[in-house]
Amino acid sequence: MEKESITENVRRGLSSAQAEESRRAHGENVLTPPKRTPLWKLYLEKYNDPIIKVLLVAAAVSLALAIIENEFVEVIGIFLAIFLATTIGFYFERDAAKKFDVLTAIGEESPVKVLRDGKVQEVGRREVVVGDVVLLGVGDEVPADGTLFEATDLQIDESALTGEPIISKFTDVRNDGATYPSNMALRSTMVMNGSGRMVVTAVGDATEIGKVARKSTEMTSVKTPLNMQLDRLAKLISKVGTGVAVAAFVIFLGHDIMTNSLWHTDDYLRMAETVLRYFMVSVTLIVMAVPEGLPMAVTLALALNMRRMLKSNNLVRKLHACETMGAVTVICTDKTGTLTQNKMQVQEMWAEGADAGLLRAAIAANSTAELDGDKPIGNPTEGALLLWMHREGHDYRRLRSENGVVWQLPFSTERKYMATIAEVQGRRYLFMKGAPEIVARYCDMGEADRAALRERLLGYQNKAMRTLAFACKPLGASVDKVELSPADAHLALQGVAAISDPLRTEVPDAVRQCRKAGIDVKIVTGDTSATAIEIARQIGAWDDATPAEAQITGPEFEALGDDEAYERAHVLRVMSRARPTDKQRLVNLLQKRGEVVAVTGDGTNDAPALNHAHVGLSLGSGTSVAKNASDMTLIDDSFGSIVRAVEWGRSLYKNIQRFIFFQLVVNVTALLLVLGGSIAGTELPLTITQILWVNLIMDTFAAMALASLPPSHEVMDEKPRKQSDFIINPHMAWAICSVGILFFAALLGMLVWFNGRGEVTVGQLTVFFTVFVMLQWWNLFNAKSLGSSHSAFHGFFEDKGLMIVLLIILVGQWVIVTYGGRMFRTEPLTAETWGWIILCTSPVMIIGELMRAVSRLKHRP
């Protein structure tokens, strides 16, 4: 705004017509929310999953064969698997988005005092326009950016934007080192003390917070560890399936050409039929290699964890964030509100030899703050003093009314003290409160007392405490104003208050668990170096052996070259006086070093880093901009919730590995059966509908069972996995191949035995089919314990999902065998036959239990 416009607006404010014209020119005072992706596009994005892509290729091939053979049962099953996996993921993410919208709703209609048409009136925040005169008072949230033309002891909390808690504001620009000019008030900051008036210069997206909000919604290309693992798995499955299929086609066709006289005739039609038959066998091998249930398993595991993590105060907005938390190697955390309670409290009140009643009167009278229950209104430091009074059982309101204030000199950053004359029990006193080194100058003290005071203050400051000193002296009955100077004040020191923002009680233990789990915790804050280091010491992230280079300020970090900053990022534990760009640069450098980075924060200044991290963790009490930039929201603002999220994430990854083991054992067994049957020249021993039951329905139930396994705290004793580690580790690969081959050998032996006794009957094939299913049923117990030496029955009755699924599979198999008839090519089995099948397949679980028992004995301390 030009100076003439400001002068004109000061007296009467805008008229209604001018306000409407300004709104048309500059827009409404709202932050544009991130552009929403259309629902159809969000749904189609689900088909970008690497496993889904492989499944789509298999579906296309199956569809082509189905058209040739006029048999669509299998292709319908594959398309159903794709549809269920994508739709479930889409539903759960949309459901979380709705919950998030409710949580982060912005009160754009909150009232704002403005001067319009020559009178003060209240309008909704969104109705504030450029040129409006806004009246600011204690407790108000600044509705837009503006230039101050009145400022009486005005102090504003800019922590939501800059990380700076209390900034003094003036009507002129002062070179006081502040981030923004001293005559500017910024949207979404809070008035903590004093009052003022400003002329609005920017609204909505044009405000400083609007600019940061846009930066926080930039598109980033950070790929999650799970996505990279599934990419590799999809490529491996494609290569193995295609390789085996091509080899089988070449071997079968080559053997046929060498042994079949057909190839020495002119019957080209039968030759083409033979080639097509072998080609169909090869394609069947590719279809068998693709784990149809894997996308469903991953989606269900992530979705179930999303729901469960909400119960532990973690609102997950993006499915893959559930698992990515388990891979986190570094957490960059804000201090205020995340590690600390963001509630100033008096930790110690030193008042040796002072009149306690007079000190209480001084605190009550020489203050401008108020209490709303347990919530301070106004200056947070003064609020902490009033809360201390309340805890001590004293009513500051009663003392303030009884001890009438005669005169008051407000606090200013130049003086660094506040003075008040009040009548206490009929006598007038001068009370002073302020920075101890300033107040001490006005006191009559000996050198020994001054030295003792300096030593005490140093002790408080080394504990990251803010200090305030109190002094007073009696006055004559007619004195109603004083001119203060250190030389002739002759005050008596009453005491010193040590004030701090206390740690959240759960933080030290949570940080200890993170470090034990191999996760590095770095504090990135806008506070001073001394305070940040002391907080780091209190939470266990700093000790006497910590090197000096583990601490740096934001400006110092910015001055480092890229190579030096790259090396320094790894050793850093504390970054103080950090700005949004410093935090974002640190995150990017850590990612370049191969770290999986989580960032916590509650302010708009944290949003860019939240957006660029692998997992952004906003606080439930944080700004809407921070929440929109994050992947998860800690509803209870607790750092302990981060530990639970890591535990959930690591357990989830193990559950996905368990399902992959179970699914691929089924696929390897089926693949070898098709291959073996083709080599032996026999028909496929399993029908298409039986394969669908095994590969789709049964695996979906298994996905639900293994995905629903509760988290295990023992995962926190492990180090984070490397991003380069394949999701199928060597132990898993050995188990998949060995178990799959053993199952194949047993089943092939059954086929050979049946063939040796003459023509294979439907009853024998029903037994074969049931044995196949029961082998996998018992193997589900082994899958549950994969990656641990626990018995399969460890916490068995807590795993209700697994118990239900085991029952469903058993009952389902009985129903199919008994009533499946021609559809499933089965006939009912006797109870005796069922008993023998269950008994003969049970060694699958028994041998697994024996192997786990041996492992427990080996690792017993």
Location of structure tokens 């009486």: 152
Q: Which strand ranges, in their side-by-side order, compose the sheet holding 314-316?
A: 314-316, 632-634, 615-619, 597-601, 330-333, 520-524, 574-576, 551-553
Q: Map tokens 């001293």 to a residue.
A: 182
CA–CA dist 266, 650 (Å, integer)? 63
What does residue 740 show for φ and ψ, rounded to 5 degrees? Answer: -60, -45
379 touches 193 (CB < 8 A): yes
CB–CB of 88/52 below 8 Å?
no
What are residue 551's DSSP bridge partners?
A: 574
Q: Alpha helix locations (H) across 290-379?
A: 293-311, 319-324, 356-365
Nearest to 402, CA basis, from 421, 373, 424: 424
Nearest to 318 by CA among 90, 635, 41: 90
Bridge partners for 650 per DSSP: none
Q: Which candidate in 132, 145, 157, 334 is catalytic?
A: 334
In terms of DSSP bridges, do strands 492-500 and 190-202 run parallel, antiparallel, or are they unpaired?
A: unpaired
Q: Which residue has the tokens 């000790």?
A: 543
Phi, psi of 758, rounded to the nearest 5 degrees: 110, -155
Q: Which helix (H) or strand (E) holds 145?
A: strand 145-158
From start to end of 441-524, where are the E strands? 466-474, 492-500, 520-524
Question: Is residue 568 within 8 Å of residue 560, measured between CB atoms?
Answer: yes
* Residue 95 bears catalytic tag: no
∠ CA 339-344-347, nearest 5°, is 95
The helix or strand, by DSSP H or E, that contains position 831, with its residue range, turns out to be helix 831-841
CA 696-62-813 angle, 5° bins: 25
Nearest-5° Cα angle at 617, 612 to 620: 135
Helices in 553-639 by DSSP H: which ranges? 554-559, 562-571, 580-592, 607-612, 624-629
- The half-sphere exposure of 282 on its side-chain side, counting CA atoms within 13 A, is 18
The whole-angstrom separation of Cα 385 and Cα 378 is: 12
Please answer whether residues 374 and 389 qualify as being in contact, where contact means their C-beta atoms are separated by less than 8 angstroms. Answer: no
Q: What's the distance, CA 383 to chain centroid?
A: 32
CA 841 to chain centre: 44
Q: Hey, what are 413's tokens? A: 């950053």
What lies within 8 Å, CB to CB, of 738 at 6+ separation is: none
The residue type at 440: A
- The answer for 177, left when phi > 0, alpha when psi is -120 to 50, beta otherwise, is left
Distance CA 119, CA 126 (A): 19
Distance CA(27)–CA(52), nearest Å, equals 45
Residues with active-site annotation: 334
